[in-house]
Chains A and B, each alone.
Chain A
């Protein structure tokens, strides 16, 4: 935890309210997000219990699996989910703009610009918590290898038509969510925790109710009190007053309310199957419907508070102005979305279970680049984030007190002005360290020359840092106007780079070297996991 975060958390404790950790919004928020509040069944990995889903905060759609261990009901749930999510996703696939992309020409091997389509906007799925992102990834994994009766008439348990496609999309969203700074599938707790520091631990911040209680406590109460209540308060039946955001449910709810309701549902269903004539069946169908309604009511009672909390979080975040680089990062999300749209249209097979060596290395490298870029961009977009970097000795801000023109040696001397900056920050500057400042959105680099003895007893105090500006001054002998800071200017230099270099070029998967097991071989059509006795009731 950085020093400024520690300070903000201490301040949150003493004031009883979360403190801002950002002055702008660092993540893209769609005008039209799809909110998804999933619940899972205890003790059964990847068995959905239900979900509240939709784009209209006043009219969410409730999907429920009345008996989560019944595969047919589960497929019915996934099918309904596909009917809501896929039209929403497809709604963004149509509207495109022309863009250019660098590609390697297969004939010449040269990098050439190709005209391609880029979706004008992309869908955004918002889930309450990080566990929700993992759950969607798991659902995606469980669906994408399923075969429909149309794809394979022989398959023993055919999936409903659009379910495998939903699996591929959820897999894509889940994988993209691992990219630092991406916004295709954000978790509300992560979004809020990025922008506010609470007086509780980062682990406790994963409880959406408690987190919101710190950020926006009810009138007249402290965040700590409200958070404690959100976490622990129970009604006279022993049920949590603020159900957890899921997907896991509270054990007291599972045991006291859900299990008996499942039992009633099972009994009603058995009774219906045993009905001997139409009249009896009608009665028993009524009992089954009532039992199902009861479970629907239970699921709604546990998802609706979370649904409202997510929209509350969206309201809080929308009140922040968007950071300058957010649009650029969202564009990369749009590229990611467009890329997957194209793979689906081209009829490519679903994403493999495991990445091959080259894909894994490429993903890791791009995520590390993106992480470094995100950290730099957030600091450049937000003085509060920059203050944290300054406090950590990774940046410094101050006033220019002197500029002396010098020139580089060599045949064509170029300007190398020496700029003295007075700062109260204490950057960790090594010998000849490179520092950077943003000049018209582009990084200008300078070299640390040394400290100048500040005049004793000078009223300003602080250190005098001498820098040599190295670039972005044009080609002439005299620097271009505005490219060199002037005496009296406020400047901010960072010790970290603003832009990331491209990494090493990795071989194609078919050229995987012997150290990594050689080429992975022909791609085989992966099938769903075989059905085991535990899978069928």
Chain B
């Protein structure tokens, strides 16, 4: 019996080559790339942009937020400082990152007309939606296409001939603030994701996927892959011995310290508070989150990874706190400020999409809730929160969530003609909880 040795670098390289081949020389108008968390999506976008620019094809890039646009411009500039890039921005005050002003090859304007002739022009979907052109761009790259709504693709699709669509199908679906059931089941449901509509009308388009997550450690990739990508599994690019999280200050035996040690050891930690129904901004859970962050910083953490032989200190900017709601994020920020912690990112799942940290502390979306609504069960929300870390993820939660899940099976009405999404939030939540349960630390605040 021979065991096949999996070479992550080679597998990822092969996938990338195939994608670029289809993009540059394929017969189809579109190419779709599914990318699990941390699989090098941004690297792929930058590489494809440079190759398309080299091939002399005028390229427009569509991203979803201004932060994503600025990030792409900076990455392009890092790879090829010679390449002239246009940054199309809104006419608001401070429409783009000031760091762009230091790059002489980047031309910035609020008018698309000022940027004509540049090999690459980058902007948000919202801004592109207001652009009118006589001659469409030869090529487009649509980044975070699974987070883009079908109607915003409709507004920009007339601007390009062909396009590469890149995104993560496991993250949060786009949403509408009003009901859209009236169009459920239509192939062009305006509230569906851009990729859903695109593939419904063009099922023959080649679909690729990136097979290796470089961000998620070996301890996290199998769980995230099984729970959120059951039919499109991926692997971790690193092995169990490649990453290590160590703390200079030993544990004081408290709950937060125990859970930190459990997470450093296994990659996962669950700090469980006694079962209780609470308001959204559960003060005890919020204090527990803040206490864990405080201890993470106080204990002199150091992260060793494949990136460098020497350990890098675990500083505030390498830690993030994720919540489901904005008021929870605000409460955590206030609690952290009380403990004198600054510079730790605290945000909702929506805003943490696409970001990466060494350690994340997550307030479980179902913690303390009396009910499990579709919002709190959404697979993408949990997936985002459980896949932002390179080393460890610590979840703070009230006991009793698995009972809650059993009490509330999903009851969303089934709409004819819509694709049923797998896995459903119920199943994914159970899978994650079962794994977290192995690293549980009970804590009485």
Q: Taking beta carbons and an 8 Å cutoff, which residues of A are in contact with B?
A: 3, 178, 180, 354-358, 360-361, 363-365, 367-368, 371-372, 392-393, 428, 432, 470, 503-507, 511-518
* B25 surroundings in chain A (CB, below 8 A): none
Chain A residues closer than 8 Å to B176, beta-carbon distance: 364, 368
User: Is there contact, CB below 8 Å, between A361 and B150?
Assistant: yes
Closest to B162 in A: A514
Query: Which residues of chain B are within 8 angstroms of A361 by Cβ–Cβ distance?
Result: 150-151, 154-155, 188, 190
Given A514-B157, A515-B30; A505-B129 close (CB under 8 Å): yes
| B197 touches A (CB below 8 Å) | yes
Extra 19 A-B pairs, beta carbons < 8 Å, given A504-B128, A505-B130, A514-B201: A356-B188, A357-B188, A358-B154, A360-B151, A361-B155, A361-B188, A363-B190, A365-B190, A368-B178, A371-B177, A504-B156, A505-B132, A506-B154, A513-B158, A514-B157, A515-B157, A517-B188, A517-B201, A518-B201
- Known: A365-B151, A505-B132, A506-B155. Is A514-B29 also a contact (CB below 8 A)? yes
Residue pair A393, B201 in contact (C-beta under 8 Å): no
The interface centre, meaning the residue of A507, A514, A515 with most chain B CB atoms within 10 A of its CB, is: A515
CB neighbours (8 Å) of A516 from chain B are 150, 153-154, 157, 188, 197, 201
For B150, the chain A residues whose CB sits under 8 A away are 361, 516
In angstroms, how far is the closest chain B Cβ from the Cβ of A239? 31
Is A178 in contact with B182, judged by CB distance below 8 angstroms? yes
Contact indicator A393/B186 (Cβ below 8 Å): no
The interface bits of chain B over 130-156 (1 if a CB of A lies within 8 angstroms of the residue's CB, else 0) are 101000000000000000001111111
Interface residues of B in 101-140 (CB under 8 A from A): 126, 128-130, 132
> What are 17 pairs between A and B in contact, CB < 8 Å?
A355-B183, A357-B188, A364-B180, A364-B190, A365-B190, A368-B177, A371-B177, A392-B327, A428-B327, A504-B128, A504-B129, A505-B129, A515-B153, A515-B154, A515-B201, A516-B188, A517-B188
Q: A504-B126, A504-B130, A513-B157 are in contact. Are A360 and B326 (CB under 8 A)?
A: no
Query: Contact between A354 and B326 (Cβ–Cβ < 8 Å)?
Result: no
CB distance from A389 to the nearest CB of B (A): 12
From A370, which residue of chain B is reached at the shortest CB distance? B178
Q: Does B340 contact A (CB under 8 A)?
A: no
- Chain A residues closer than 8 Å to B187, beta-carbon distance: 517
Q: State which of B29, B126, B130, B330 has its C-beta within 8 Å of the C-beta of A428.
A: B330
CA distance A98 to B55 in the complex (A): 58
Q: How distant is the Cα of A279 from the Cα of B93 in the complex, in angstroms?
A: 90
B-to-A contact residues, CB < 8 Å:
29-30, 93-94, 126, 128-130, 132, 150-158, 176-180, 182-183, 186-191, 194, 197-198, 201-202, 279, 326-327, 330
CA distance A503 to B180 in the complex (A): 17
Most buried by B among A357, A371, A506, A511: A357
Q: Is the CB of B198 within 8 A of A515?
A: yes
Q: Does B178 contact A360, Cβ atoms closer than 8 Å?
A: no
Chain B's closest residue to A357 (CB) is B188
A360 to B150, CA, bound (A): 11
In the assembled complex, the Cα of A516 lies from the Cα of B189 at a distance in Å of 10
Shortest Cβ gap from B370 to chain A (Å) = 12
Contacts of B191 in A (CB 8 A): 364
Q: Which residues of A contact B158 (CB under 8 A)?
A: 507, 511, 513
Would you call A428 and B197 a contact (CB within 8 A)?
Answer: no
Shortest Cβ gap from B28 to chain A (Å):
11
Distance A365 CA – B130 CA, assembled complex (angstroms): 14
Nearest-neighbor residue (CB-CB) of B132 within chain A:
A505
Please measure, in the bound complex, the distance between the C-alpha atom of A360 and the C-alpha atom of B326, giving whole angstroms: 30
Q: Is B154 a contact of A507 with CB atoms below 8 Å?
A: yes
Instruction: Give bound CA distance, A368 to B201, whole Å.
Output: 25
CB distance B129 to A515 under 8 Å? no
The complex places the Cα of A77 from the Cα of B431 at a distance, in Å, of 56
Q: Please measure, in the bound complex, the distance between the C-alpha atom of A358 and the C-alpha atom of B155, giving whole angstroms.
A: 9
Give the docked Cα–Cα distance between A355 and B202 (Å): 20
- Expressed in whole angstroms, the minimum distance between the Cβ of A418 and any Cβ of chain B is 17
Task: Report Cα–Cα, A512/B202, bound state, in Å.
Answer: 14
Chain A residues with CB below 8 A from B153, complex form? 515-516
Beyond A360-B190, A504-B129, whether A515 also contacts B151 by CB under 8 A is no
Bound complex: CA A515 to CA B30 (Å): 9
In the complex the two chains form, is B155's CB within 8 Å of A505's CB?
A: yes
Q: How far is the CB of A355 from chain B (nearest CB, A)?
A: 7
Once the chains are docked, how many angstroms separate the CA of A393 from the CA of B330?
9
Shortest distance in angstroms between B201's beta carbon and chain A's nearest beta carbon? Answer: 4
Given A503-B129, A516-B201; A354-B157 close (CB under 8 Å): no
Residue of B nearest to A515 (CB): B157
Complex: how many Å from CA A512 to CA B279?
A: 46
A514 touches B178 (CB 8 A): no
**In the complex, A513 Cα to B159 Cα: how many Å?**
9
Inter-chain CA distance A422–B202, complex, in Å, is 58
Closest to B330 in A: A428
Can you name the residue of chain B whose Cβ is closest to the Cβ of A364? B190
CA distance A13 to B187 in the complex (A): 46
B207: shortest Cβ distance to chain A, in Å? 15
Chain B residue contacts of A368, Cβ below 8 A: 176-178
**Chain A residues within 8 Å of B94, by CB:** 432
B178 touches A180 (CB 8 A): yes
Residue of A nearest to B334 (CB): A426
**Alpha-carbon distance between A514 and B136 when the two chains are bound, in angstroms:** 13
Task: Answer whether A357 and B132 are a contact pair too, CB < 8 Å, given A364-B176, A371-B178, A517-B187.
Answer: no
Give the 5 A-B residue pairs with the shortest CB-CB distance, closest first: A504-B129, A513-B157, A361-B151, A504-B155, A357-B188
Q: What residues of A have a CB within 8 angstroms of the CB of B198 in the complex?
A: 515
Q: Which residue of B lies closest to A445 (CB)?
A: B93
Bound Cα distance from A307 to B129, whole angstroms: 48
Is B151 a contact partner of A354 (Cβ separation < 8 A)? no
A511: B residues at CB distance < 8 A: 158
Which residue of chain A lies nearest to B156 when distances are taken between CB atoms in the complex? Answer: A504
**In the complex, which of the residues B29, B93, B177 contacts A372, with contact meaning CB atoms closer than 8 Å?**
B177
Q: B182 to chain A: which residues have CB within 8 Å? A: 178, 355
Q: How far is the CA of A505 from the CA of B154 in the complex (A)?
A: 10
* Residue of B129, B182, B191, B197 with highest tally of chain A CB at under 10 A: B182
How close is B347's CB to chain A, nearest CB, in angstroms?
Answer: 10
Residues A360 and B188 in contact, CB atoms below 8 Å apart: yes
User: A515 to B32, alpha carbons, bound, how many Å?
Assistant: 12
Q: Which residue in chain B gives the minimum CB-CB distance to A361?
A: B151
How far apart are A509's CB and chain B's nearest CB, in angstroms?
A: 11
Closest to B142 in A: A515
Residue of A nearest to B153 (CB): A515
Interface centre among B29, B155, B182, B188 (most CB of A within 10 A): B188
Q: Which residues of the other chain, B, contact A355 by a CB distance below 8 angstroms? A: 182-183, 186
Q: Does A515 lie within 8 Å of B202, measured CB to CB?
A: yes
- Cα(A102)–Cα(B370), bound, Å: 51
Q: Which A residue sits closest to B92, measured CB to CB?
A: A434
Q: A360 is contacted by which of B128, B186, B330 (Cβ under 8 Å)?
A: B186
A354 to B416, CA, bound (A): 14
Q: Which residue of B is nearest A354, CB measured?
A: B186
Q: Do A364 and B330 touch (CB < 8 A)?
A: no
Q: How far is the CA of A53 from the CA of B151 in the complex (A)?
A: 40
Say yes or no: B326 contacts A428, CB within 8 Å: yes
Task: Chain A residues near B130: list those with CB within 8 A.
Answer: 504-505
Q: How long is the Cα–Cα vector from A505 to B126 in the complex, in angstroms?
A: 10
A430 CB, nearest partner CB in chain B, Å: 9
Minimum CB–CB distance for A395 against chain B, Å: 14
Chain A residue, CB-CB nearest to B205: A515
Assembled-state Cα–Cα distance A372/B177 (Å): 9
Which A residue sits closest to B125, measured CB to CB?
Answer: A504
Determine the distance from Cα of A363 to Cα of B183 in the docked complex, in whole angstroms: 11
Please, how many angstroms separate the alpha-carbon atoms of A364 and B188 in the complex?
A: 12
User: What's the Cα separation between A503 and B130 when bound, in Å?
Assistant: 8
Nearest A residue to B194, CB-CB? A515
Residues of A within 8 A of B327 (CB): 392-393, 428
Q: List the A residue with the shortest CB-CB distance to B329.
A: A428
Kindly list chain A residues whose C-beta atoms are within 8 Å of the C-beta of B326: 428
The smallest beta-carbon distance between A188 and chain B, in angstroms, is 20
Q: What is the CA–CA distance of A358 and B182 in the complex, to the nearest angstrom?
A: 14
Max chain B Cβ within 10 angstroms of own Cβ: one of A354, A361, A363, A517: A361
